[in-house]
Structure 1
Amino acid sequence: MNKPIRKAAVIGSGVMGSGIAAHLANVGIPCLLLDMVPKQLTDEETAKGLSLEHPAVRNRLAASAIAKLTKTKPAPLYDDSFAARITPGNLEDHLAQIADVDWVIEVVVENLQVKKELLRKVEQHWKPGTVVSSNTSGISINAMSADCSDEFRKHFMGTHFFNPPRYMKLLEIIPGERTDRDLVGRMKTFCETVLGKGVVLAKDTPNFIANRIGTYGLLITLQEMLDKGYTVEEVDAVTGPAMGRPKSATFRTLDLVGLDTFVHVADNVYANVADAAEKKAFESPEVLKSMVAKGWLGEKSGQGFYLKRKGSNGSEIHSLNLQTMEYQPQKKASSGSLEAAKLAKGAREKTKALITGGDRYSDLAWNIMKQVLVYSAEKVGEIADSIQEIDEAMKWGFNWEMGPFETWDAIGLVKSVEKMEKEGLSVPAWVKDWISQGNTSFYRKDNGSLFYVHGGQYKQVEERPEVISLRTLKEQNRVVKSNSGASLIDLGDGVVCLEFHSPNNAIGADILTMIQQSVDEVRTNFEGMVVANQGRNFCVGANLMLLLMEAQDEEWDEVDAIIRMFQNTMYKLKRLEKPVVAAPHRMTLGGGVEACMPADQVIASAETYYGLVEVGVGLIPAGGGCKEMALRVSQHVRHPDADLQPFINQVFETIGMAKVSTSGHDAKRLGYLRPTDRVLANQDHLIYEAKQAVLRMAQAGYEPIREEKIRVVGSEGKAVLQLGAIAMKESGYISDHDLLIAKKLAHVLAGGDVPAGSLVTEQYMLDLEREAFLSLTGEPRTQQRMQHMLTKGKALRN
């Protein structure tokens, strides 16, 4: 019962099964992937002379699923090499091997009898103490395990991963009536800490939490559309970011999920609920059934509510007219309420602006929202014990910015209930009782702690030490210093966190000033510092708009001053006599990477997309990025006679092609992260882990990073790098301007025109960076690239 999970088996190698196996491999858990034995040979197998008894044939389904993992987009693996952690097998030859694993996950077809029969076979080889779970999206856990022994059922539960398993945060754990509750708690902790999931405990009801409410909301939206005559694009304009929902809104979401899959999920609730009104709500409209019958299933069939067509100006997206059932060019929806929502800051204000706009789109938003809120309230206690679990399930599983009860608070609980009742909607008695007690919201904050309604009174949200909220700390007046771009926040135990909060967390003079002030503050009053924030992205780079404006005005002294300030600030951070740990997440680009490089250690989220991308805007890294990469090569190749060239070639290619990692692990492969840096699966734990790392270094007697000279490849090495770039230009891979940038980059990385093997100082390398950056800033084509990035959000190849 207490044994750790070190090895797993996944049964079923379809999209979900292989994706779950991949994510287990991502976090270092070797996995056995099993599937059925094929009944027929493929043409390729026949040509090779293989028989049905050959192991390659018998393991084909699992083996081919593993092979696809390295080709699938978005990538299921943090690093392609992790596929080696998955071993293919089949149910006839290898099922007995589950006796050697710690967790068995069933991911076969959504059919109760198939699952019951598989569990019967699993139990024959099951070793007591091994966890067994089903990845079902809605079949009863109790019904599935009804024929199993009591001891087996104690170790059996539902673990509903959302697709794709690597990227979707939600994991619903569904205990059966016999499941050991201590084991459920340990699995919850394991899945949060090791797998990086947001775990909610669901009850064994049809479709559990997220799919129950999400499916209801999508069906209500479709019905409202059909009743009132809205178009596909109008509905998506209302039910996307304007309502605090993803850009995929309603119909792009349905196309992504697959209309056949959605109908199957809706049918599961329809078949398993007794209430007539609820059953009616989950009946798929005829238009949906008709589209499935036609094979218009969405992305996987090439058409659904949207269709991509070739037009005179390239590909165009057309939308389905549900009256004529023909595709037509999209018409952009526009109204006062949509514009007001667009201008509002944050999901709360956007939602309020949308529903109070007084036009037909406001009506659509309100009519959808009110029904989803009431339905969610009706299901409290039935599908989950608390409103918090329902809210978290919808945020983590459907990427809503606010859960239903957070949304209700945002629009005004008391007034919205009054309006609902005036319009004839029946609001659950517990909600009205709560309001009658004088309460005006489901959640409230008190001294930085969050409370939610539970059992007719406020209950404090469980505070977990590994989840540190910078917002909460700021509400508790823990800010040491602050300006418009960054704040220094006391994390306790002598550790502070430097938080960026400028627009897009772009680095400008305000952030650089705060870094310098923070270094002085930590030197005097604290044990060490964490560099982290909880914005959508860690940092997208330096303030490009400011640089472009100065360059266009030919204010070269100002540009030089900006770069000097950046370089001097990073150098000061690196030389701080106290430990510094950087904790980046998601997009960490250009200057964002350079802000992490001075740290003693980087603890990155597994979903960190990390890269020195300045070449994309016609520049080179000049905040110490080139210098730090050259220093790492010099430190890696210590012997004075060893050849640096192959390693500096690799750095030149990585920076020159503006490579960005696809994960934290990939950042290690690219050389952006060091072997001593760590990658963490759960982004919510980043600041806590970074703080612990600072404390460990401080307690061990921290010694500051000492400056050392950098051995460089010099003029000879520069010639090698430039020759490679010239060859690419002659082959048509890069433009004249790309070649100019490459030559500048080669000059810096090589250490300029010194002899090969020369030892140079960090300041010397920084001077080379700055000179190259300044000269490129004056190039008209670089300015065109900067302008294009600012206006279009993508690189210009000119």
Structure 2
Amino acid sequence: MMRSIRKAAVIGSGVMGSAIAAHLANAGIPSLLLDIVPKQLTEEEAAKGLTLEHPAVRSRLAVQAIAKLKKTKPAPLYDDTFAERITPGNLEDHLAQIADVDWVIEVIVENLDAKKELLSKIEAHWKEGTVVSSNTSGISINAMSADCGEAFKRHFLGTHFFNPPRYMKLLEVIPGEHTDPAIVSGMKQFCENRLGKGVVLAKDTPNFIANRIGTYGLLVTLQEMQEKGYRVEEVDAVTGPALGRPRSATFRTLDLVGLDTFVHVANNVYENVSDEAEKAVFAESPVLRGMVDKGWLGEKSGQGFYLKKKGPNGSEILSLDFSTMDYVPQKKVASASLEAAKLAKGAREKTKALLGAGDRYSELAWNILKKVLVYSAAKLGEIADSIREIDEAMRWGFGWELGPFETWDAIGLVRSVERMEAEGTAVPGWVKEWIAQGNTSFYKKQDGAAFYVHGGQYKELETAPEVISLRSLKEQNRVVKSNSGASLIDIGDGVACLEFHSPNNAIGADILTMIQQSLDEVRSNYNGLVIANQGRNFCVGANLMILLMEAQDEEWDEIDSIIRLFQNTMYKVKRFEKPVVAAPHRMTLGGGVEACMPADQIVASAETYFGLVEVGVGLIPAGGGCKEMALRVSQHAAHPDADLQPYLNQAFETIGTAKVSTSGHDAFKLGLFKPTDRIVINQDHLIHEAKQSVLRMVQAGYEPIREEKIRVAGSDGKAVMQLGAYSMRQSGYISEHDVKIANKLAHVLAGGDVPAGSLVTEQYMLDLEREAFLSLCGEPKTQQRMQHMLSKGKALRN
């Protein structure tokens, strides 16, 4: 058994090392962050009279790295205060302290000799039971530990985090030939449960799994482009979302990664493989080498395959012309294949549409894809034991919506292999043998279970008990009720899950109707309800298109009816006689927040971006959001003589500036979560954890939330908030229409024109919300803001 990891040490405080320490801090794991002792003073240190022996100088690199975490974007920390969980130090004065940690992570320069020297120093202070790992992106784990003792080797392995560690799901765990299997399984479990990672087990081969295949794919794309004369922007148009890949596609990805980094990674494969055909692909590209020599490294140097240039009409992004090596204006990329892919839904259908149109972009996609698929199949057994690990590595590490073998199934395994062989492409023998046995896919579903090819036969796809897949449950006919916007699904143990599945999960009458029907069903047949889904985002708000259309037609009674339905539905959720837990993730905005607030508890993903953003379209929250914030203000200042104003001002600022939390933890600071709400770091475990919360409430003898009166600040508190809005207008920070919205918001949050300290009902507050919302809907400038958001996807300041 591997011992529990309660404290860690990270050696190397560069971008990656400090970010790993930050993510450990996110997970509640304190760590030492150690680096070398500087050999020169900075000008600031010299001015202070410090010497190279001063402790502040000796640990400067780690101290600076920790300070930088709070300024880095995207933020490596869920909360800036978590930086306090990282202790800076240096390798000469503090290395002995690793005897008191449970995990040491090496994150220094990618150089075998340097890593071997460091491991020797670590082993001198190492205590048996402590796990030691390297974050190397491709250097051999066995070569690194070759000179270490047997006990040390049993505790040593690779843990390759993808950058940035907070946001990238993939973690490749690479056992050495001597690594204790218990350490491997223990680390896999720890990294999944505590760090929220998607862990794949990789073989100790050059660049492991994701970088091996991803680098190959990028290189064959570059070669195809040069051979056939495609432009940079053409390649990116084909190899992005049209092929189920990220928007950064090929060349934007290279610019983000850094061309020097990419050349180093590719060279690592070239130097460590023996197959001549493979070496030829990974051989250094003259184009890439030339760009690196010129300092065209991508985003970090300001130019790479793309260059942002300021012109008389604003900024323009130019692309590199390989024939002249000059930057030129991009040309519009359009074709039947790209249009077909754009119209198709889902990565499977998009890929098939792109390949099926028969134009030059279809040809480009096919020529790249077939090489990647064949290469992935050829590397099975060498870089990983199963196709599942290869597919997961590419989805989690490179953002592909489908892994190579999932893609192969999507385009038709048998048909595509026939085409490959007809074109002279050599297909690995095991793939042909698999097809010869009568199989038509690498994955299949049967009797509610999923299978994948492994060892020449289908093996059942096992999932951890903490992972609940709503898609799988629906395939098992566990849907209880459904309409166009939402479904109620039986997730076992007497708990049902309400899933939104409208476009963008926007809340409309269909979802509200299904919520009410779900409450009726749960009342009769279940112990409790979870509100969750597994879409890209939890919910982007109410259906703005319908609202704008009604406002433009001046259908005020219809808008009033819609808002009443929303308010009444959320009120029923809050007063429901059985426990309700909301489980939001990623973007949860406006009405999505209001769908969560009435729940007994919110169990949120750590990556939840939560905010009442209605002012961005010229409105205020009216589905109970203002009422709930006013209630929390009242609860914070529970004593009758306590001052409401400080809490009220914070709520006014949070809603009035459309603040969105930068994490689940940040939502607590904004007052959007209650103290009893919880955060789950692994989003795959979110619905399971929400279900467990429901069951705990049931076991404890659940009692519904009782209605309580809300103490409001009244006209006095309203005046304070309105004065703040007036001051911002006078300073030029906001527009006249912003002031109008702010005054309406202040009126609602303060409870209207009642005496300070008045006690009002929730329904009274809901009526204020609805009245303010309706009046703002009639404002032409609000309608302009709504139209702009729908057409441009961003807020209009008018």
Deviations 1:147-186 (A, max 9, x none): 1110001000000000000000000000000000011101
Would you say the 8 A contact 2:2–2:182 is kept in 1?
no
- Secondary structure at the residue paired with 1:6? coil
Alignment partners' CA distance in 2, 1:520 and 1:433:
54
The one-letter code sitting in structure 1 at the alignment partner of 2:145 is S
Q: Is 1:302 matched up with 2:323?
A: no
Q: Is 1:3 matched up with 2:3?
A: yes
The one-letter code sitting in structure 2 at the alignment partner of 1:705 is I
- Secondary structure at the residue paired with 1:252? helix
Alignment partners' CA distance in 1, 2:484 and 2:194:
36
Q: Is 1:690 matched up with 2:690?
A: yes
- Report the Cα offset of residue 233 of structure 1: 0.2
Alignment partners' CA distance in 1, 2:512 and 2:363:
47
Which residue matches 2:666? 666
Q: Is 1:597 matched up with 2:600?
A: no
Q: How does 1:232-631 map to 2 (within 5 A)?
A: 232-631=232-631
- Report the Cα offset of residue 525 of structure 1: 1.1
Would you say the 8 A contact 1:447–1:475 is kept in 2?
no
- Structure 1 alignment gaps of length 5 or more: none
Which residue matches 2:54? 54
Deviations 1:759-795 (A, max 9, x none): 0000000000000000000000000000000000000
Alignment partners' CA distance in 2, 1:37 and 1:236:
44
- Secondary structure at the residue paired with 1:137? coil
Alignment partners' CA distance in 1, 2:499 and 2:239:
32
- Report the Cα offset of residue 2 of structure 1: 3.1
Q: How does 1:138-217 map to 2 (within 5 A)?
A: 138-217=138-217
Q: Is 1:797 matched up with 2:779?
A: no
- Secondary structure at the residue paired with 2:416? helix
Alignment partners' CA distance in 2, 1:36 and 1:186:
30
Deviations 1:311-366 (A, max 9, x none): 22211100000000000111121110010000011100100011111110000000
In terms of mean alpha carbon deviation, does 252-261 or 305-314 score higher?
A: 305-314
Q: Give the number of equivalent residue pairs.
A: 798
Alignment partners' CA distance in 2, 1:584 and 1:405:
31
Which residue matches 1:746? 746
Deviations 1:495-539 (A, max 9, x none): 000000000000000000000111111111110000000000000
- Report the Cα offset of residue 464 of structure 1: 1.5
Would you say the 8 A contact 2:636–2:647 is kept in 1?
no
Which residue matches 2:113? 113
Alignment partners' CA distance in 1, 2:316 and 2:70:
30
- Secondary structure at the residue paired with 2:46? helix
Alignment partners' CA distance in 2, 1:9 and 1:621:
46
Alignment partners' CA distance in 1, 2:203 and 2:90:
32
- Secondary structure at the residue paired with 2:291? helix
Alignment partners' CA distance in 2, 1:447 and 1:659:
47
Alignment partners' CA distance in 1, 2:363 and 2:555:
52
Would you say the 8 A contact 2:171–2:199 is kept in 1?
yes
Alignment partners' CA distance in 2, 1:779 and 1:355:
48
Alignment partners' CA distance in 2, 1:332 and 1:69:
39
- Secondary structure at the residue paired with 1:129? coil
- Report the Cα offset of residue 633 of structure 1: 1.2
Which residue matches 1:86? 86
Alignment partners' CA distance in 1, 2:207 and 2:674:
44
Alignment partners' CA distance in 1, 2:644 and 2:421:
75
Alignment partners' CA distance in 1, 2:337 and 2:448:
33
Would you say the 8 A contact 2:62–2:89 is kept in 1?
yes
Alignment partners' CA distance in 2, 1:594 and 1:88:
42
Which residue matches 1:220? 220
- Report the Cα offset of residue 97 of structure 1: 0.5
Per the normalisation by structure 2, the TM-score is: 1.00
Which residue matches 2:36? 36
Alignment partners' CA distance in 1, 2:304 and 2:133:
34
Per the normalisation by structure 1, the TM-score is: 1.00
The one-letter code sitting in structure 2 at the alignment partner of 1:714 is G
Alignment partners' CA distance in 2, 1:317 and 1:679:
40
The one-letter code sitting in structure 2 at the alignment partner of 1:14 is G
- Secondary structure at the residue paired with 1:588? strand
Would you say the 8 A contact 2:594–2:623 is kept in 1?
yes
Would you say the 8 A contact 1:11–1:34 is kept in 2?
yes
Alignment partners' CA distance in 1, 2:623 and 2:244:
36
The one-letter code sitting in structure 1 at the alignment partner of 2:88 is P
Q: Is 1:782 matched up with 2:775?
A: no
Would you say the 8 A contact 1:242–1:354 is kept in 2?
yes
The one-letter code sitting in structure 2 at the alignment partner of 1:284 is E
Alignment partners' CA distance in 2, 1:708 and 1:691:
27
Alignment partners' CA distance in 2, 1:360 and 1:64:
51
The one-letter code sitting in structure 2 at the alignment partner of 1:58 is R
Would you say the 8 A contact 1:499–1:533 is kept in 2?
yes
Alignment partners' CA distance in 2, 1:564 and 1:750:
21
- Secondary structure at the residue paired with 2:643? coil
Would you say the 8 A contact 1:219–1:284 is kept in 2?
no
The one-letter code sitting in structure 1 at the alignment partner of 2:796 is L
Alignment partners' CA distance in 1, 2:520 and 2:435:
51
The one-letter code sitting in structure 2 at the alignment partner of 1:110 is E
Deviations 1:85-131 (A, max 9, x none): 11110000000000111100000000000000000000011111000
Which residue matches 2:640? 640
- Report the Cα offset of residue 46 of structure 1: 0.7
Deviations 1:251-303 (A, max 9, x none): 00000000000000000000000111111111121011000000000000000
The one-letter code sitting in structure 1 at the alignment partner of 2:55 is P
Would you say the 8 A contact 1:320–1:326 is kept in 2?
yes
Alignment partners' CA distance in 2, 1:312 and 1:446:
61
The one-letter code sitting in structure 1 at the alignment partner of 2:737 is H
- Secondary structure at the residue paired with 1:492? coil
The one-letter code sitting in structure 2 at the alignment partner of 1:513 is T
Would you say the 8 A contact 2:609–2:663 is kept in 1?
yes
- Secondary structure at the residue paired with 2:378? helix
Alignment partners' CA distance in 2, 1:650 and 1:338:
48
- Secondary structure at the residue paired with 1:633? helix
The one-letter code sitting in structure 2 at the alignment partner of 1:73 is K
Which residue matches 2:675? 675
Q: How does 1:67-82 map to 2 (within 5 A)?
A: 67-82=67-82
The one-letter code sitting in structure 2 at the alignment partner of 1:402 is L
- Structure 2 alignment gaps of length 5 or more: none
- Secondary structure at the residue paired with 2:451? strand
- Secondary structure at the residue paired with 1:84? helix
Deviations 1:399-436 (A, max 9, x none): 00000000000000001001101111110000000000
- Secondary structure at the residue paired with 2:491? strand
The one-letter code sitting in structure 2 at the alignment partner of 1:744 is K
